[in-house]
């Protein structure tokens, strides 16, 4: 029997300021150069408001880190329990834990970390940004996946009595808690009021489908983070439509059945589309095998939680490995092309002209998903590609404004590096040795002053994973350390959920009419089914 999620709709924690100049990002016909527009926007966006971490890596899931002015700033503080290694010991596990418990924390001097962060900004104007392997939609699918994984639905009183999240915590599962909340009985605001089991989708004042919203523009959804930008909010909307389409098509006869199908197809694309793109099929195959009867089995090499039924999230994954997505973020994206006019929008730009969320979806920024994912029968000529996974971040991530952070550390690269040290991460080379991979040297990684004794011949894990991809994979996918960490943890957590598709009584594969052919199903297919009438 499928269980409904036990999510809790967070309050909006959003204080955005007005921007400076207003510029147009629309061009006529074939005369517009997508790369030219994106390159030009790099310098512009660098001075604009920026969402600090673009939702990669574990972060606060409820507005409990408010600044003095009451604003929820995403880059302030750490998610509950992530400091387990430095507060209660490397052997302890709760909501978070240490994957490589025998490895020491790596603590280079802060001044070296700041020097390293300072060299991580890409040139202005940037060089070729396109990652030919990974369409840009996977940047935001990764954001959506992370939110589902890190949603802490533990009631606030229990969070307060257990700040280290050792006993009171919600296990990370891919159960779409942001979509279903605690179910139609407890969270009726997420559902149509006629008890049909359908999720609530509205037609807004601009005549486009949108998330249900409060008077101030905040979305009424199970996780407010999915309303942070207009790309991930429209991805959230797609999952609402997918669930509803399961019911209207007759494939599902009940809410529970539609919920199960939606969850399983989401989990399928995590394994067979997302991980295939960012880590590679060979890496996924290393950890996902066949048990001999056609059913998948997850092999765990290093991710072995003490309690397999309540798996912890490793800080090596949440504070370092999964933050590879920061380097995939672009300054702007092509949203659609209609009647010969291409509409681009910056992630952070002039108010009302960028992709910031917590507002009704403007018709001019409604997504044509063929520009973000591989869609069957659609041309790839005008598709946004993700930025390469490398040791550089887009310029907007180097000037976080006071509306986002409440201290002087305005570089996301610096914040990530300092945070990794504060939370007790091991070095990249130490993790490489632990998993049997020949470690790269600091000279190969391009660490500044690699012979400085302060480095002790090692480098921070997050930076190591980015540079490993850049040097060994041309930035097109994760390298051996990053790919194995991301794949094993995601598959391990999916395996721990006995309601996941991995544990279906019969081997599960998407079938028609949801999938074009049995066993072949991509994010583009999920979108196509959700949008079909």
pTM (2 decimals)?
A: 0.86
Taking a C-beta distance cutoff of 8 angstroms, is the pair 106, 434 a contact? Answer: no
**H-run or E-run covering 27:** strand 26-28
Q: How many domains, the chain?
A: 1
Taking a C-beta distance cutoff of 8 angstroms, is the pair 241, 531 a contact? Answer: yes
> Considering the domain boundaries, does residue 481 fall inside one?
yes
Q: How many CA atoms lie within 13 Å of 122's alpha carbon, on the beta-carbon side?
A: 27
> Considering the domain boundaries, does residue 372 fall inside one?
yes
Taking a C-beta distance cutoff of 8 angstroms, is the pair 422, 429 a contact? Answer: no
Task: Identify the pLDDT of residue 349.
Answer: 75
Spatial distance between the Cα atoms of 108 and 116, rounded to a whole number of angstroms: 11
Spatial distance between the Cα atoms of 57 and 319, rounded to a whole number of angstroms: 6
**By C-alpha distance, which of 320, 375, 414, 451 is closest to 114?**
414
> Considering the domain boundaries, does residue 6 fall inside one?
no
Q: 221-248 burial, b if ≥16 CB within 10 A, otherwise e?
A: bbbbbbbbbbbbbbbbbbbbbbbbbbbe
Quick one: the chain helix, strand, coil %, rounded to 5? 35, 10, 55
> Considering the domain boundaries, does residue 14 fall inside one?
no
CA geometry: angle 321, 450, 429, nearest 5 deg: 35
Start-to-end Cα distance in the chain: 29
Tell me 272's DSSP state. I
Q: Strand runs (DSSP E) across 308-427, as ranges? A: 313-314, 332-338, 341-346, 385-387
What does the pLDDT profile of the chain (533 residues) look like in tens digits?
333 333 333 333 332 222 222 223 333 333 333 343 333 333 333 333 233 333 333 333 333 333 333 333 344 456 899 999 999 999 999 999 999 999 999 999 999 999 999 999 988 777 778 999 999 999 999 999 999 998 888 888 899 999 999 998 888 999 999 999 999 999 999 999 998 999 999 999 999 999 999 999 999 999 999 998 899 999 999 999 999 999 999 999 999 999 999 999 999 999 999 999 999 999 999 999 987 777 899 999 999 999 988 999 999 999 999 999 999 998 889 999 988 899 999 887 777 788 888 899 999 999 999 999 999 988 877 899 999 999 999 887 777 655 456 677 868 899 999 999 999 999 999 999 999 999 999 999 999 999 999 999 999 999 999 999 999 999 999 999 999 999 999 999 999 999 999 999 998 999 888 998 877 899 999 999 999 96
Task: Identify the pLDDT of residue 156.
Answer: 87
Task: Identify the pLDDT of residue 111.
Answer: 96
> Considering the domain boundaries, does residue 20 fall inside one?
no
Q: Helix 232-248 vs helix 523-531: angle between axes, to the nearest 10 degrees?
A: 60
Task: Identify the pLDDT of residue 312.
Answer: 95
CA geometry: angle 139, 469, 270, nearest 5 deg: 40
Q: Which two tokens stand for residue 356?
A: 């910031």
Taking a C-beta distance cutoff of 8 angstroms, is the pair 445, 404 a contact? Answer: no
> Considering the domain boundaries, does residue 3 fall inside one?
no
> Considering the domain boundaries, does residue 379 fall inside one?
yes
Taking a C-beta distance cutoff of 8 angstroms, is the pair 231, 333 a contact? Answer: yes
Expressed as residue numbers, the domain containing 319 is: 26-531
Task: Identify the pLDDT of residue 41.
Answer: 36
| Residue 105: CATH number of its domain | 1.10.640
ω into 125 cis (within 30 of 0): yes
Task: Identify the pLDDT of residue 22.
Answer: 28
**By C-alpha distance, which of 501, 488, 509 is closest to 174?**
501
Contacts of 87 (CB under 8 A, 6+ apart): 164
**H-run or E-run covering 26:** strand 26-28
Query: What are the two backbone dihedrals, phi and then psi, of residue 45, each rounded to the nearest 5 degrees?
Result: -70, -25
User: Does residue 377 come out as left (phi exceeding 0), alpha (psi in the -120 to 50 range) or beta?
Assistant: left
Spatial distance between the Cα atoms of 92 and 114, rounded to a whole number of angstroms: 30
> Considering the domain boundaries, does residue 17 fall inside one?
no
């Amino acid at each position: 029997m499928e269980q409904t999620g036990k999510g809790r709709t967070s309050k909006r924690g959003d204080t955005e300021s007005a921007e400076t100049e207003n510029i147009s990002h629309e061009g006529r016909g074939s005369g517009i150069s997508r790369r030219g527009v994106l390159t030009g926007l790099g310098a512009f966006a660098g001075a604009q408001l920026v969402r600090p971490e673009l939702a990669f890596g574990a972060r606060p899931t409820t507005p409990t880190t408010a600044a003095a002015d009451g604003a929820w700033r995403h880059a302030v503080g750490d998610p509950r329990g992530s400091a387990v290694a430095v507060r209660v010991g490397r052997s302890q596990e709760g909501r978070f834990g240490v994957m490589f418990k025998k490895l020491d924390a790596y603590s280079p001097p802060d001044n070296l970390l700041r020097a390293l962060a300072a060299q991580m900004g890409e040139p202005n104007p940037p060089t070729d940004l396109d990652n030919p392997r990974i369409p840009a939609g996977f940047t935001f699918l990764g954001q959506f996946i992370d939110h589902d994984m890190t949603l802490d639905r533990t009631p606030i009183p229990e969070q307060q009595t257990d700040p280290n999240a050792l006993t009171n915590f919600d296990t990370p599962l891919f159960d779409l808690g942001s979509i279903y909340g605690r179910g139609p009985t407890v969270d009726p605001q997420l559902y149509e009021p006629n008890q049909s089991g359908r999720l609530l989708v509205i037609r807004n004042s601009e005549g486009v489908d949108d998330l249900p919203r409060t008077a101030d523009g905040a979305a009424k959804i199970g996780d407010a983070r999915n309303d942070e930008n207009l790309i991930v909010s429209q991805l959230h909307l797609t999952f609402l439509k997918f669930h509803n389409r399961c019911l209207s098509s007759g494939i599902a006869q009940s809410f529970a059945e539609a919920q199960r199908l939606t969850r399983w197809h989401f989990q399928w694309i995590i394994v067979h589309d997302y991980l295939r793109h960012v880590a590679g099929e060979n890496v996924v195959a290393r950890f996902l095998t066949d048990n001999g009867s056609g059913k998948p089995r997850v092999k765990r090499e290093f991710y072995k939680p003490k309690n397999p039924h309540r798996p912890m999230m490793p800080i090596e994954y949440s504070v370092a490995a999964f933050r590879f997505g920061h380097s995939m973020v672009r300054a702007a994206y092509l949203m659609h092309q209609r009647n010969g006019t291409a509409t681009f929008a910056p992630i952070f730009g002039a108010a009302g002209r960028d992709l910031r969320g917590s507002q009704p979806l403007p018709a001019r920024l409604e997504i044509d998903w063929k520009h973000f994912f591989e869609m069957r029968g659609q041309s790839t000529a005008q598709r946004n590609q993700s930025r390469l996974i490398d040791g550089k971040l887009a310029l907007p991530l180097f000037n976080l404004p006071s509306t986002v952070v409440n201290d002087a550390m305005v570089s996301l690269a610096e914040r990530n590096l300092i945070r990794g040290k504060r939370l007790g991460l091991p070095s990249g080379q130490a993790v490489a040795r632990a998993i049997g991979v020949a470690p790269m040297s600091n000279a190969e990684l391009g660490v500044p002053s690699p012979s400085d004794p302060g480095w002790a011949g090692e480098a921070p894990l997050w930076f190591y994973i980015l540079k490993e991809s850049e040097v060994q994979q041309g930035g097109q996918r994760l390298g051996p350390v990053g790919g194995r960490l991301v794949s094993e943890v995601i598959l391990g957590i999916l395996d721990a959920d006995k309601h996941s598709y991995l544990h279906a009584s019969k081997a599960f594969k998407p079938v028609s009419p949801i999938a074009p052919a049995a066993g072949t199903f991509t994010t583009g297919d999920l979108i196509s089914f959700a949008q079909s009438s």
